[in-house]
Structure 1
Amino acid sequence: MSIEGFMATWRELAIEAGMQLFKASGVHRLAAPFTSGLGAILMFHRVRPDRGEAFAPNAGLEITPQFLDALLTHLAARGYDLLSLDAALDLLRGREAPARPFVVLTFDDGYRDLVEHALPVLERRRAPFAAYVTCGFADQTARLWWLEMEEALRRLSRVEVVVAGRRIVRACATAQEKREAFSYIYWAIRDGAEEQLLDVVARLAGEAGVDSHVLTADACLDWSGIAALARHELATIGAHSVTHARLAKLDAAEARREMADSRDFIEQKTGAAPKHFCYPVGDPTSAGAREFALATELGFESAVTTRPGMIFPEHRDYLHALPRLSVNGKHQSLAALDILLSGAPFAVMNRGRRVAA
């Protein structure tokens, strides 16, 4: 396993241990007045019924409609205001602390189930949300490579790939073997260049007979669906690049094109230029100071990362490097949500820094 993969596995284990510690001790409740900040931006990807599959390596990106509904009920009971992204930014730019904490709901990539399964819940709750759209998913010119790899490994009983000159051979017959193979290959290719990542997955998909265009068309909204969503009173459409490339892996000109063209394409298709951007993958290896500067230069009012953290008054000076809390499908519990919203885990993770950009 690559160093990045080892660190990711270690980080997952540390997070799980930390969550259990907070749950058992309740110390996060004591810390919350000092660590919870003004509120949080929540990050979602897919919302759809649980398929009950033994091999579901992307399950961390999914929650059920029932959990979304329970989450919104819980937030209301806890006294949170559900704000649009624009309203939250207006509040952040102000100099007075809000009377109540706020939460902003954001959905990445432009999946069909945002409309099919999440939207009915959001409408019922009158909950505003932001949808960050990847243009290439809407017209099937970009690839959902993580779903391609999942589907390829679901079909194959053995995999053999070459990553950066290293031959990787894994048994892939049982659900456990498939999970292990997925994790190993995922982190091996995440370590390298974007072109290599796409090439490795394309080879796996080709061997397994996975049609990337069909997969993307099935999973994601097309432009007519996005245009309809853009007209919804609760929706704010944001840009999420053209191809979902990890921008920090690209040269500056290409990264700028990914950001600028996604804004322009969305304006052409919906009639309104998006004011907000979301960095694909969004961790420190995928978006950093250069990308934050590009988002500012291109005139976006805000840009969000996947770096975990709460929103503090200090973030008014870092509107293009905003943190989010991932509502992780592996931890679909209101107890886990309360721990995250306390901000205590991130105070530890960020060593007390309110802004980690």
Structure 2
Amino acid sequence: MIKALATFLSMAGVPAVLRHLRGPQSLTILSLHRVSAEEDYFWQPLHPDRFEALCLYVKRHYEVVNLRDLNLLAAPQRPQLVLSFDDGYQDFMEFALPVLVRHNLPANHNLVVACLNGDYTIWTQRLNAAFNQARQQQVHLQLTIGEARYDLQRYNNQWMPFYLAVFKALLQRPRLMREEVLTELETLVGRPPAPRMMTWADARSLANHNIEVGSHTYYHDVVSTIHDPAQLHQELVDSRRVLAERLQQPIDVLGLPNGQNSPHLQASIREAGYTCVLEVGDRGNALPLASATAPPCLHRINIVDELPSLAQLRLEVLAMKKNLPQSLSHK
């Protein structure tokens, strides 16, 4: 029913009406991750065909830009849009990059330093893989996170609500506690091979295709949970320095892992020297960007694998929720 309604509304021109109402003085940033034909119950990658349909749509209706180019378009004729990727999965090189090159579209990609160094899997991917293993093996999971007990049976053996509850709980916990839970899970169900990640050679090649590289921190930790200055420095400052040195290019964008922000991060972000910070708020941004002494925080709209008509409608509805980006100094 929802798919049929979305198709009807798209064919009726509702997305065009929403773009007209919003006007050209807006910035929409899409948050993307994996582009692959693989099947994954808990985190379905965006199918390459649907990614190409998305690219065709935004190319037709938006001025697709990099974040560094925003000041060069002071009076845009069309609303601006950034295709923003996180994590640095190898399937970006295999499936997403050829589409971007074919349609001459720029993009932003925020990379995790430890993944580029090799033999490191970010915690969200480990959680996802372990849950897929548990579901396939029909393991009755019971997990303790802090003082709370999470039991699959209490969720009526419904895997997705159970997974989301555990994921949200781990977002609020420090790295050591997350590591303990993940180790317990992997001991119980095994640790399957992780998806391949980009190499440093891959990352260096991105500049040849107008892909703007940003930092997605050093270890993809939940930086809003970090209060140790040295650990924050590594995630925010060292990640930018290492990327800039290894890639021989400026690194001005910080993509916050899982979109998690916090007021106590502002000093470390200023120290690191980023010019903009990306979080996930499922809304658009108004232009011109607010002037501030700290880097502005820009909202992103999360893109999932769904019918193109539904993706287009959801994009335009959420982009209507634009507001002036808030500086970290105002949070």
TM-score, normalised to structure 2, is 0.83
- What secondary structure does 1:146 align onto? helix
- Say if 1:356 and 1:298 are closer, same or farther in 2 by CA, change over 3 A: closer
Partners in 1 of 2:325 and 2:281 — Cα distance? 10
Partners in 2 of 1:260 and 1:325 — Cα distance? 26
- What secondary structure does 2:257 align onto? coil
The residue identity in structure 2 corresponding to 1:72 is C
- The residue that corresponds to 1:10 in the other structure is none
RMSD across aligned positions (CA): 3.1
Structure 1 gap segments, 5+ residues each: 1-15, 348-352
- The residue that corresponds to 1:159 in the other structure is 141
- The residue that corresponds to 1:327 in the other structure is 303
1:73 aligns with 2:56: yes
Count of residues paired in the alignment: 314
Is the Cα–Cα contact under 8 Å of residues 292 and 321 in structure 1 kept in the other structure? no
- Say if 1:314 and 1:343 are closer, same or farther in 2 by CA, change over 3 A: farther
- The residue that corresponds to 1:210 in the other structure is 191
Partners in 1 of 2:88 and 2:300 — Cα distance? 18
Distance apart, 1:57 and its partner CA: 1.0
Partners in 1 of 2:213 and 2:319 — Cα distance? 31
Structure 2 gap segments, 5+ residues each: none
| 1:90-239 equivalences in 2 (<5 Å) | 90-91=72-73, 94=74, 97-140=75-118, 142-156=120-134, 157-170=139-152, 177-210=158-191, 214-215=193-194, 218-229=195-206, 231-239=207-215
| 1:32-43 equivalences in 2 (<5 Å) | 32-35=19-22, 37-43=25-31
- Say if 1:57 and 1:251 are closer, same or farther in 2 by CA, change over 3 A: same
Partners in 2 of 1:309 and 1:42 — Cα distance? 9
- The residue that corresponds to 2:315 in the other structure is 340
The residue identity in structure 2 corresponding to 1:161 is L
Is the Cα–Cα contact under 8 Å of residues 304 and 323 in structure 1 kept in the other structure? yes
- The residue that corresponds to 1:300 in the other structure is 274
Of the three residues 256, 265, 274, the one matched with 2:251 is 274
Partners in 2 of 1:310 and 1:179 — Cα distance? 28
Q: C-alpha offsets along residues 270-318 of structure 1, whole Å, 9 cap, x if unaligned?
A: 2224122111111xxx213333453233221222111222231242426
- The residue that corresponds to 1:3 in the other structure is none
Distance apart, 1:250 and its partner CA: 0.5
- Say if 1:177 and 1:199 are closer, same or farther in 2 by CA, change over 3 A: same
Is the Cα–Cα contact under 8 Å of residues 74 and 334 in structure 1 kept in the other structure? no
TM-score, normalised to structure 1, is 0.77
- What secondary structure does 1:147 align onto? helix
- Identity %, equivalent residues: 19
Partners in 2 of 1:323 and 1:167 — Cα distance? 33
